[in-house]
Amino acid sequence: MRSQPLFRYGRRTLVLAAVVFAGLNVVAAFHAWRFTHFTTEAGTHTDNPEQLTPGQKLWVLLTGIENPKPVNRQRPAFPYATLHLHSPNGRLECWYGPLAHPRGTVALFHGYTSSKGKLLTEAAHFRRLGYSILLTDFAGNGGSAGNVCTVGHHEAADVATVVRWLQRRGGPVFVYANSMGAVATLRAEAELGVRPTANVLECPYGSMLETAQSRFRSMHVPSFPMANLLVFWGGIENDFWAFDLDATRYAAHVTTPTLLLWGEADPRVTRAETDAIFAALAGSKRRQDFARSGHEPYWRRHRALWEQTIRNFLPRTTNLQ
């Protein structure tokens, strides 16, 4: 007789567990969609997790992030032309600032929820060093077509499109990319066969799972199982296996000379992730860390060191070709 109550209790527990698991998947799928699909509505992007109040964090957990398509609010002060290149992801909008007798061309790629207009300080510095520049909005961002962002996976095809277009024009081609753009660059070289002259990569994250986990930690919420479900649904909704989006694995196949930059106060990319990527890089490599800098442009706090590091790296890599 006692077995029947135990059976009913066990069945209720299983039903409850199934309902909870289904609910978690629905929430994760919703968040993944909001995270990887920009809206066309006017507004501002939700602040970074470390900037939110406890009440705002709870609201974001319940409703998802506000994620309007990034726009270019600044234009270059130097002469440039607007170009459109065709990537497998759609039409890319680029700003091309050539010099008469350049030492090469630097292709600049932005991070998540950003746009090419955020890299104008970097572009102007490369021009002063004697390099032509090409700034690109990834598909879904800025002036480029679409509204989807896969945080580095599909964007690798955009990197490949730009680098190959520049290489057909002749001369050394360098990549300067930060965060998501840096991960996209590593995948473009590891899996799509791209080989620029050299890379300058700022704060690439270790893997999609690690960056999802770091965002939950920033919210002071346990990362398991929601970070895993978020990555799973983010890949399913965008037609790729997101657990394979792994910069450390890509780095092991990258032989391009690479300068890796990282801020020691970065709340989203850890030292362990950075150490693993740097150790895995298969080609010649250098590294520069920036004290007190977070997930931000390093010239803001350390302009002289940032400029000197890049100035010293590029001539050496040019001589390697």
> Does residue 4 register a pLDDT over 70?
no
Indicate the angle between helix axes 226-237 and 208-218, nearest 10 degrees.
130
The domain containing residue 42 runs over which residues?
Answer: 1-68+208-237
**Contact call for residues 202 and 114 (beta carbons, < 8 A):** no
pLDDT of residue 315: 77
- Based on the fold, state whether residues 178 and 262 are members of the same structural domain: yes
pLDDT of residue 62: 66
**Contact call for residues 299 and 263 (beta carbons, < 8 A):** no
**Contact call for residues 246 and 207 (beta carbons, < 8 A):** yes
Render the burial of 207-225: b for 16+ CB within 10 Å, e for the rest.
Answer: bbbbbbbbbbbbbeeebee
- Based on the fold, state whether residues 86 and 108 are members of the same structural domain: yes
On whether residue 159 sits in a domain, the answer given is: yes
- Based on the fold, state whether residues 181 and 231 are members of the same structural domain: no
pLDDT of residue 44: 74
What confidence category does residue 321 fall into, taking pLDDT thresholds of 50, 70 and 90?
Answer: very low
* pLDDT, tens only, 105-118: 999 999 999 999 99
Mean of per-residue pLDDT scores for the chain: 92
* pLDDT, tens only, 141-157: 999 999 999 999 999 99
The pTM score is 0.92
Instruction: Please report where in the chains the tokens 């920009």 appear, as a residue.
Output: 38
- Based on the fold, state whether residues 155 and 195 are members of the same structural domain: yes
On whether residue 76 sits in a domain, the answer given is: no
On whether residue 63 sits in a domain, the answer given is: yes
Q: Is 190 helix (H, G, I), strand (E, B) or coil?
A: helix
Output DSSP code: residue 175. E
Sheet of strand 132-136: strand arrangement: 81-87, 90-97, 132-136, 105-109, 173-178, 198-202, 258-263, 285-290
Omega within 30 of 0 (cis) for the link into 225:
yes
- Based on the fold, state whether residues 21 and 96 are members of the same structural domain: no
Task: Report the CATH number at residue 288.
Answer: 3.40.50.1820
Short-list 201, 190, 192, CA closest to 107? 201
- Based on the fold, state whether residues 96 and 32 are members of the same structural domain: no
- Based on the fold, state whether residues 35 and 139 are members of the same structural domain: no
What confidence category does residue 66 fall into, taking pLDDT thresholds of 50, 70 and 90?
Answer: confident
On whether residue 283 sits in a domain, the answer given is: yes
- Based on the fold, state whether residues 121 and 268 are members of the same structural domain: yes
- Based on the fold, state whether residues 88 and 195 are members of the same structural domain: yes
What confidence category does residue 276 fall into, taking pLDDT thresholds of 50, 70 and 90?
Answer: very high
**Contact call for residues 137 and 208 (beta carbons, < 8 A):** no
CA 195-199-261 angle, to 5 degrees, is: 155
Q: Which of 221, 237, 253 is the last residue of a domain?
A: 237
- Based on the fold, state whether residues 141 and 213 are members of the same structural domain: no
